[in-house]
Amino acid sequence: MTKTITIATLAGLALAISACNTVNGAGKDMKSAGTAVSGASGKNDKK
């Protein structure tokens, strides 16, 4: 029983760690997309 709980806990931690990396990557992608849209609209152009 203890072995099963340990394996389940380790599997859960592995999923949690990979999810954090996925969310971090998605945030970077959204930021770069927002920057591209802002650049294309010309709102960030200095006059």
Q: Can you give the pLDDT at residue 36?
A: 80
pLDDT tens by residue, 6-18: 999 999 888 877 7
pLDDT, tens digit (0-9, with 9 covering 90-100), for 24-44: 777 788 888 888 877 777 665
> Rounded to whole angstroms, how far apart are CA atoms 37 and 6?
47
Q: Which residue has the higher pLDDT, 37 or 2?
A: 2
Two tokens at 38? 């802002």
Measured between alpha carbons, how far is 38 from 2 in angstroms, rounded to an integer? 54
Residue 30 token pair: 């959204």
Distance CA 39, CA 44 (A): 6
pLDDT at residue number 34: 81
